Structure 1
C-alpha cells in the first residue's frame, strides 16, 4: 500500500488552503461561505427536508423488510462488541458532546423564540422540548443509519474497501476506482475534517467557559482555549495510538457512565415529576407531530420560514455533513449484527436517550425560568451559550461538584470524538484500511487540532463550520445514490440468502 493515497494528498492540500484562508482573511472566509450557505438554506431548504425525511423512511422500511435478517458480515459472524459497549461507542461518536453543549441552551432559545406564536408561553414551552427532540432524534440517526449500514454491508459482507466510493460499485462498476470515486471520498474527508475541527473548537470554548465559571482565577480567554486544545490533542493522540479496542472503547464506556450519572443526578435533584411529565408528554407529541414537522417550511410566514432555515434546515445539513464520519465509525464497530438489529439500535436507543436528556436538562431550565424566575437565558445570552449548562447546575445542591463532572464529561467526549475522527480519516485516506497506521492518524489529528486552534484564535471557526455544512449539499446527492446502490445489492443478495 502506498503511504499517501491520492485521496490523502488532495484532501490534505484542500485542508491547508482553507486553514490558510481562515488565518489570512477570517472575515473574507466568513463572508463567502456564509453567502453560499445562506443561498443553499434559502433556495434548497425543501431539498434538505425531503432528503432527511426520505433517509429516515428508508431506514424504517429496512426494519420491516425481507432484508432484515441479512447480516453485516458473513452468515456465521458474531458482533465484535456487546450491546452496551456498542451503544456507548456509536453514541459517543455521534453526538455526545453536542447534547452536553445544547441540552440546556437549545430549549431555552426555543422557549423565548419559538417557531410560531409568542415566547415565554405554555405553548412555546411545549414546542421548545418537542423541537429539541425533533432536531436530535430520529432524523439525524436515520441519516447516520443509511451511510453506516451501506459501509458495513459492503465492507463486511462483500469484502469491499471501507470507502464510501466502494458503495457505488453496483451502480458504477470499476469506475469507482477512477476520478468519480476519488471525488466522492475527497468530499467525505472535507466534511469530516472541518466538521470535527469546528466541534473541537466549540468544545474547547465550553470547557474553558466551564472552568472559568467554576474556578475563580481562570479566565475564559483564547489562550485558555488554546491550552485546552493542546492538552486534549496530547490525550487523544495517546488514545488513538492504543487502537480501537482500548482507547475509544474504554473512554466511550466512561462517557456513558458519566453522562447517565449526571443526568440521573439532575433528574432526582431537580423537579422529578415535572421532568418525567415533560418527557412523557413530549414523546407523544413528538410522535404525533413528526410527519408535519418533517415537512414544515413556513412559506406563508417569513418569521417561521427564517426560524426553520436557521434551526431545522441548518441541523439537517449539519448531520449530513457529519454522516461520513459517524457513519464510517458506527459501521466499523457493527460487524456481525443483522440489518434489523443495526437499524433498531442506531435509530431508537440514541433517540430515546437524547429525548430523556433534553427533558431533564431543558425541562429543568424551563422550570427554573417559568416557576422560579431565574435568569438563565439572560446569563446565557450575556456570557455565551457555553455557560448555560453550568449556570443551571449551580441552581441545585452539589452544583459545583456536578459542574466539575460535566467538564470531565465534555473532555472525555472531546477526546473520543477527536480519536474517532482520526481513525475514520485514516480509513478514508488509506483505501479503507480497518487499522490505519498511527502515522496517518497522527497527521490527521494534527490537522484537525491545528485547524481548530488557528481558526479559533483568528475568529474563523464559524466560517469553517459553514464551509463544512456547504459540503453537505453535494454529499446529499451521494447519499441518495447510496440508497439505490444498497437496494440493488440487497435484492441480489436476498436471492442467494434465500437459497
Structure 2
C-alpha cells in the first residue's frame, strides 16, 4: 500500500459513510436522493444542455483544426493496440450494460408509452422513439468521453504528466494541482466514478436477475441480486489481477463476439427489412433534429418537462458521471494515435454502432407491440426477454443476452477497478492488486446499497447528483486542454523539420 495517495483514504471514507447511511436509513436515504434529483433537474437542466452542446462544438473544432495532427505520445510512436481491439475496448468500457438494458425498452417507451413529441403509438412516435434514443446515446455522450479522454491522454503521453484528472488542469492552476486543491479534484473524480459505475452494475444485476427469472423462475429480489453482484465481483477481481493487456483485452474481444452474435440473431430472426429501413429513416431524422433537441428544455407547462428530466437530463448526467472512468480508460488504451484519429474513433464509430443496435432491438420490439402484444406492461429489465418470447430461438437469444450482460458487467467493473486504482495511486499505470480489490469491493457495495434502498429510481437519482460537481471540472478541463493544444502547436511549428 506504499503507492496509495490521500485520494484513496478520503474516497474510501466517503464510500463507507455513504454505505452505512444507506444501510441504516434506506427510506430516508431514498427520499433525500429523490428530492436532490428533483432540485438538480429543475435548476440545472439548462446547464447540462449547454455543457453537452459545448463539448460537441469543441470536438468538431479539434477534429477539423491543425490540432488534429498532434500525436498522443512521441511523434514517431505507434498505437499499442490494433484498431479493432481498441474499438472493442472503448466500446465495452463506454457502454456495456446500458446497451442491453435499454436496447428494446427505451425506443418502446418513447414510441408507445410516453412519447414527448407526437401521440404515443402512432407511426411518427415510433420513428421519433428510435431517433430520440440515438440522441441520448450518440454524439453528445461520446463528445463528453472524447474531451475528457483526450485531455488525460495528451497530458499523460505527450507532456509526461501523471494520469490524473488534476494533472489536466495544470495549464490553468500550475503547481497548485500538486496540493490540496488537486487532491480535492481527484477525490471528486474518483467518487463520481464509483457512483457512475455502481449505477450500471445495479442495472446489470437487475436485468440478469430478470433474465434468470424469465428462463428458470429465479425470484426477482434483492437477495438474488446480491448473489449476482457477489459472483460477478469475484470474477471481475480475478480478471483485474491479470492486468490490462490480458483480462480486459480478452474480455472486450469476447464482448464484441457475443454482441455481434446477438445483434445478427435479432436482425435476421426479427423483421430484417423493416429494421434496415427504419434505421436509415430514423438516423436521418436524428441528424435532422439534433440541433433542436440539443436545446430542448421544455420550459412551458405544456412542454412535458418531466420527460426531459427523466430521460435527457438523466442521460447527460450519466455520461458526465462516467466520464472520469471511461475517459481515463480510453486515454490509457489510446497512446500513439493522432488526435484526429482518436476523436473520430471515439465519437463517430460508437455512435453508428449504437444506432444500428437500437434500431435492431427497438424496431423488433415496436413491430411486436404493433402486432397486438403489449410489451410496455413489463418492467424495464424484462422487456427484452419478453420480446424474445415472440421470436424463434428465444431461449438461445435470452441466454446470449444474459451472457453478454455478464461479460459487460465484468468488463465495466474490471476497467473501472483499474482506473480507480490509477486515480488513487498518483496515476500509476500498474496499481497494486490490493488497491484494485478494495476499489472493486467499494463499487459493488455502492451498487448493492442503491439496489437495496430503491432499485432503478435510486440508481437514477444518484447518477444526477454525482454528476453535477464533476461537470464543473469538465469545463475547466476544456479550457485547459485548448490552452495546452494552442501552446503545443506553436512549439511544433518552431521545431525545424528534418530534411
- Do these two structures clear the TM 0.5 threshold for a shared fold by scoring above it? yes
Counterpart Cα distance in 2 of 1:143 and 1:280: 26
8 Å contact kept, 2:239–2:248: yes
Q: Would you say the 8 A contact 2:421–2:431 is kept in 1? A: yes
- The answer to whether residue 205 in structure 2 is matched with residue 204 in structure 1 is yes
1:484 aligns with 2:483: no
Secondary structure, aligned partner of 2:400: helix
Counterpart residue number, 1:238: 238
Q: Note if contact 1:72-1:153 (Cα within 8 Å) is conserved in structure 2.
A: yes
Residue 418 (1) aligns with residue 413 (2): yes
Rounded to whole Å, the distance in 2 between the matches of 1:272 and 1:404 is 21
Is residue 456 from structure 1 mapped to residue 451 from structure 2 by the alignment? yes
1:316 maps to 316
1:180 to partner: Cα distance: 1.4
- In structure 2, the partner of 1:338 is 338
Worse-superposed segment, 420-429 or 391-400: 391-400
Q: Provide the secondary structure at the position in 2 that maps to 1:68.
A: helix
Mapped contact 1:23–1:460 kept (Cα < 8 A): no
Residue of structure 1 aligned with 2:433, choices 418, 438, 441: 438
After superposition, residues 292-303 of structure 1 pair within 5 angstroms as 292-303=292-303
Structure 1 distance, partners of 2:44, 2:252, is: 36
Which deviates more from structure 2 when the two are superposed, residues 458-467 or residues 176-185? 458-467
1:46 corresponds to which residue?
46
Q: What is the CA-CA distance between 1:310 and the residue it aligns to?
A: 1.5
The residue aligned with 2:160 is: 159
Matched with 1:189 is 190
| Equivalent pair of 2:93/2:415 in contact (CA under 8 Å) | yes
- Check conservation: 2:79, 2:337, Cα contact below 8 A: yes
Aligned mates of 1:434, 1:87 — CA distance in 2:
20
**For 2:264 and 2:16, how far apart are their aligned partners in 1?**
43
Q: Deviations over 1:467-497 (max 9, x none)?
A: 3421211211111111111111111111122
Offset at 1:214?
1.1
Could you give the per-residue CA deviations for residues 136-164 of structure 1, whole angstroms, max 9, x where no partner exists? 00000000011000000000000100000
Deviations 1:82-125 (A, max 9, x none): 01100000010111210100011101111121113321111211
- CA deviations 1:386-443 (Å, max 9, x no partner) are 1111111121111111101110000000000110111010011000111111110001
Alpha-carbon displacement from aligned partner over 1:58-79 (angstroms, at most 9, x marks no partner): 1111110011010011111110
> Within 5 Å, which residues of 2 pair with 1:35-114?
35-111=35-111, 112-114=113-115
Deviation at 1:458, TM superposition (A): 4.5
Map residues 131-150 of structure 1 onto 2, 5 A cutoff: 131-150=132-151
Change (3 A) 1:193 1:343: same
Say whether 1:363 aligns with 2:358: no
Contact 1:165/1:181 (CA < 8 Å) preserved in 2? yes
User: Aligned partners of 1:349 and 1:99: how far apart in 2?
Assistant: 15
Contact 2:205 2:225 in 1 (8 A): yes
Q: CA RMSD for the aligned pairs?
A: 1.4
Q: Is 1:22–1:460's contact at 8 Å kept on the other side of the alignment?
A: no
Measure how far apart 1:461 and its partner are.
Answer: 6.9
Counterparts of 1:188 and 1:433 in 2: how far apart (Å)? 16
- Who is 1:390 aligned against? 385
Alpha-carbon distance in 1 for matches of 2:479, 2:452 = 43
Partners of 2:331 and 2:143 lie apart in 1 by: 14
Task: Provide the secondary structure at the position in 2 that maps to 1:115.
Answer: coil
Structure 2 unaligned spans of 5+: none
Q: How much does 1:465 deviate?
A: 4.6
Report how far residue 300 of structure 1 moved: 2.7
Structure 1 spans left out of the alignment, 5+ residues? none
Check whether the contact 1:452–1:461 (CA below 8 A) recurs between aligned residues: no
| 8 Å Cα contact 2:258-2:400 kept in structure 1 | yes
Q: After alignment, is 167-176 or 456-465 more displaced?
A: 456-465
> What is the distance in 1 between the residues matched to 2:47 and 2:131?
23
Distance 1:243 1:352, change over 3 A: same
Does the C-alpha gap of structure 1 residues 471 and 459 become closer, same or farther in structure 2, counting only changes over 3 Å?
Answer: closer
Q: Which moved more, 1:199-208 or 1:421-430?
A: 199-208
* Distance in 2 separating the partners of 1:262 and 1:393: 11
- Find the aligned partners of 2:461 and 2:240 in 1 and give their Cα distance: 27
In 1: Cα distance, 2:124 partner to 2:63 partner: 34
- Greater Cα shift, 111-120 or 172-181: 111-120
Mapped pair 1:375 → 2:374: yes
> CA 1:455–1:421 in structure 2 vs 1: closer, same or farther (change >3 Å)?
same
Q: State the distance in 1 between where 2:145 and 2:458 align.
A: 24
Change (3 A) 1:305 1:460: closer
Partners of 1:316 and 1:55 in 2: CA distance = 12
Cα drift, residue 221 of structure 1:
2.4
Q: Name the SS of the counterpart of 2:426 in structure 1.
A: coil
Aligned to 1:289: 289
Which residue in 2 is equivalent to 1:213? Answer: 214
Quote the residue 2:394 is aligned against: 399
Q: Secondary structure at the match of 1:395?
A: coil
CA distance in structure 1 between the partners assigned to 2:395 and 2:98 by the alignment: 21
Question: In the alignment, does 2:5 pair up with 1:5?
Answer: yes
